[in-house]
Structure 1
């Protein structure tokens, strides 16, 4: 072009710059633009769009000012790119100025300009301005409707978003996904599930949104089931989906399903990045396979803070307190800056392993070396650590020293547990009084102190506490439950619950086992005779 003097041809120059932007070759585009002596509005448009696509939005705004100084009149193409640039660059005032220019130029009725304006105002939570632009549109396509629905979802107005969604003459999959994401965002699982079932078609974004919705609302088994349906429908997934499903497996202890997810990820070309990697480390640790967790951790080529936090928490959970501290030191050597979650894992590891001195040192280091203000969870770990070690007076002093953070039921409960272990009934009474103020309806803490008095043969105090519970109508503790994974299916058993489909068969087997135990004379004090009643 230069040899033939074609680089001054604005049509060819426009084509060259547009092609360069497609391949993100901004250097070529800038050089070609700089060689033009009199670029027209179409060349400017191409250059502005190139900067937007190549993440140099401020430069696109500067080009617009240069274009105005050259007395060139902007087109709808100019304004649509500019509004996108203002949205990405969070340039609210500049964007409002561009909106004024659009109105003066008579382009405020253009669908090509109005839709980016809706997205622009919604991005700043200016939903009233976005709705005004939308209502003034003489014609609307599916993208404009979806943009407005997404804007309402963004500010949490799911009711308004659904009303607008129902008005849409034609719904595309993006609008369905926006509405689904809105329900997931506010935790309305029932509405999200109903909408999911209504959808005429689903893509990977749809499935991922539903999985994430279940996971965020602690319905982990449902999240895993949706993923199985997703695979059976032949829909591919991304790293976000895999991380969500693996995390769900961690919460329900589904090691076998989690391993299948790991194999699936490897067989389908997923790289062991920080997202999938940290989820796998956490899943294996929570499902009891700390060896597999360590193998995955050390295979990770890149480790971010989430990966380190997951392995430290996993080691601490399994009682490897010293290993967890060693991992924390390795993290410091790698110059990864810890956060509050890291220290919760470290202090919890010290608690499980009974490492009092190390716990004290880490707690002080968190405050003085890393300037991290301790939260209620950090104080809870320290009180638990000191309480288990019998240092109840020191634990009480620590609680009384809390100024910024108010001691909650978890902290007083940890102190009460320590009192029960070491039979310090005086401090236990104090802890219970605090708990009665914060959680008056919880029976668990009363039960701890009643058991402590019973062990000390103070039956008068036992009767007094039970009378208080009756007077204050303290509710009984929610029944505990356990889960077991068999052949890829997770079964849940709750105390005094008989709704499992194989309840009769399980009771029959337990009776048979009970009989064999009696024959073997190994059933002394094991309480096996009450197995069926607990089911």
Structure 2
């Protein structure tokens, strides 16, 4: 074990040194400002930009096709190349086929071979090969094709000119896009929209508004694609900016029902991203003929903003109105159901999928795997996964994450190996699932190996989630210094509260108060509205009098910052009714019976050796009162309520919005034993399967 830890520490140390060297060599940003390029650039402010990075997936595709280039399209391509002669139309069709197969290198090779045979590219051929350049992400190839366009004096043609603007905009050279735009004799709305899209991706809303004003001055009216482009792709779009675009689009929406539905759908998505669900619902209600896309956007908006009941209500409305459901809207509705602690609701949606004839669709099946696992039923999740004849990367990743979430890290790692044996390469999401599974089980050495090898073996970029999982794995094993060093190796702008929350919780477990306070300070800088008591162990170690003083100090800070502390809440579904409890809750009709059951169960577990851990009570009160405060934690009330309202032996499924505290974890293991019931608790980190023998699936790592 010591040798394994030494190897893991060595690998991680090497990675951290590489990070430090890279940070030291970064220096000052050399990204140029927008170059002046009259006339379009004269009224646009300077916007910093960078050459677009080619995605790792594109590199993977290139490496796969580089050796075969032309022959991987099969017999169709071979027959074409054997033909005695082909015109430009035939060449263009085969170029388009290469693009469809994402063989952009092959398409460019074919284009060169076409020219060698004396075939002159026409307008459509140039547009097609420029799409190949976009797929490849190679600006040098783009400039080469553009020079051919210039040689043939085609740059003023609206179709080709727009394609050139699109190519430069997508690759990231905004000044070249502006120059190409200025060469078009009479740019149409498509060219203007492409240019707007480029500035949307840069996050320059002011530039977008100036382009819209310029369009109006030149008599070109934006169309629905223009507005949808802004609403869907504009980075850093503020809520007020979105409202401006919505107002501008209202005239376009009045022209046709189709335009109204499409723009309205984009508006719903935009407001949902701002968590403005009232405004999103208003936009939804204004659509007179709602398409399945509009319903999907509304359901997804509610689901993403933690309003799953509202999402399911919209889905039921769609079914009542006989709007034809597709696999996507059903998958979104199933995902919404995953946020509700009601397995029966999920099974009802599964039945709906059967009624709609969509239960064999792999997208729907993948959503069902995720839903069943999140609702606590790995048996159903495994059964549905087994029905997928050839799982894709998303399905494999969903099952890997499910196994890790339910305390089967070895199964998650084995599933990742099966995925690769089946011919699928892991993605970043796959590796998050594997790393999280290792972290939850305290498998530090394995987590370090996966983290170090993921870039070398799979060409995957390490992102914030991967850093967070590895830091959690290190912290759970007590390697707090390494965990903090790993987090600080990230760029500061990549930090988020969750990573530091995780480290702070681990500091609490190992009573490292100095580091815990550093973590808490970072968290409160990242989000001044953070509840310092809620972030945990900052005030749980050391001598008791010091703890109470720290608690008082933090509560004063909460009051000074006007922070509203999120209460711990546990929910249990009984007979399709969800009951929620907070600590000490006395608002329910069955309060008397629930509290009597809490007392009965507590007496039983004390006979099994339960000793209350009053360290989890952050109030300076007598010891007996501390015990009582522990008894009435929200999950214990939910367990007691479930005990008196469900048949003996029935599994209890509970969702808690915060992390399960150590004392409740110990108590629940004993509750499951004395009640002879399986208790499944989903907290904000993972699932805990408390078995009838008094053990938990997490192995006490959570």
Matched, 1:461 2:546: yes
Residue 49 of structure 1 contacts residue 81 of structure 1 at CA under 8 Å; is this kept in 2?
no
The residue that corresponds to 1:452 in the other structure is: 541
Matched, 1:435 2:527: no
Change in CA separation of 1:397 and 1:119 when aligned onto 2, cut-off 3 Å: closer
* CA drift at 1:286: 1.0
Separation in structure 2 between the aligned mates of residue 361 and residue 152 of structure 1, nearest angstrom:
42
TM alignment of 1:218-367, pairs within 5 A = 218-270=306-358, 272-367=360-455
Separation in structure 1 between the aligned mates of residue 489 and residue 92 of structure 2, nearest angstrom:
54
Residue 282 of structure 1 contacts residue 311 of structure 1 at CA under 8 Å; is this kept in 2?
yes
Change in CA separation of 1:299 and 1:385 when aligned onto 2, cut-off 3 Å: same
Alignment equivalent of 1:164, drawn from 243, 248, 254: 248
- Normalised by the length of structure 1, the TM-score is 0.69
TM alignment of 1:65-214, pairs within 5 A = 96=181, 100=185, 103=186, 116=190, 119=193, 121-125=195-199, 132-133=214-215, 146-154=224-232, 155=234, 156=237, 157-167=241-251, 170-185=255-270, 186-187=273-274, 188-214=276-302
The residue that corresponds to 1:61 in the other structure is: 123
Change in CA separation of 1:435 and 1:63 when aligned onto 2, cut-off 3 Å: closer
Change in CA separation of 1:493 and 1:449 when aligned onto 2, cut-off 3 Å: same
Unaligned ranges ≥5, structure 1: 1-26, 36-43, 66-78, 109-113
SS of equivalent to 2:458: coil
Which digits, 9 at most, give the CA deviation of each residue in 1:107-126, with x for residues without a partner?
x9xxxxx5655655555558
- Normalised by the length of structure 2, the TM-score is 0.54
From the two aligned structures, give the one with the greater helix fraction. Answer: 1
Q: Which shifted more, 84-93 or 399-408?
A: 84-93
Separation in structure 1 between the aligned mates of residue 295 and residue 391 of structure 2, nearest angstrom:
28
Residue 242 of structure 1 contacts residue 276 of structure 1 at CA under 8 Å; is this kept in 2?
yes
Residue 508 of structure 2 contacts residue 536 of structure 2 at CA under 8 Å; is this kept in 1?
no
Residue 504 of structure 2 contacts residue 520 of structure 2 at CA under 8 Å; is this kept in 1?
no
Which digits, 9 at most, give the CA deviation of each residue in 1:381-424, with x for residues without a partner?
334333333xx2x3313422542345765445434433443xx4
Change in CA separation of 1:383 and 1:152 when aligned onto 2, cut-off 3 Å: closer
Larger RCO (alpha carbons 8 Å, 6+ apart)? 2
Q: Which shifted more, 396-405 or 296-305?
A: 396-405
Runs of 4+ aligned residues of structure 1 deviating over 6 Å after TM superposition are 47-60, 79-95, 531-535
Which digits, 9 at most, give the CA deviation of each residue in 1:185-237, with x for residues without a partner?
24332211112223333222221221122233333222111111111111111
Change in CA separation of 1:489 and 1:448 when aligned onto 2, cut-off 3 Å: same
Q: Which shifted more, 265-274 or 307-316?
A: 265-274
The residue that corresponds to 1:370 in the other structure is: 458
| RMSD between aligned residues | 4.6
Unaligned ranges ≥5, structure 2: 1-78, 101-106, 112-120, 128-156, 170-176, 200-206, 607-611, 613-626, 639-702
* CA drift at 1:247: 1.3
Residue 520 of structure 2 contacts residue 532 of structure 2 at CA under 8 Å; is this kept in 1?
no
SS of equivalent to 1:326: helix
Alignment equivalent of 2:590, drawn from 506, 520, 534: 506
Residue 350 of structure 2 contacts residue 368 of structure 2 at CA under 8 Å; is this kept in 1?
yes
Separation in structure 1 between the aligned mates of residue 491 and residue 305 of structure 2, nearest angstrom:
27
Instruction: Please identify the structure whose Cα radius of gyration is greater.
Output: 1
The residue that corresponds to 1:404 in the other structure is: 490
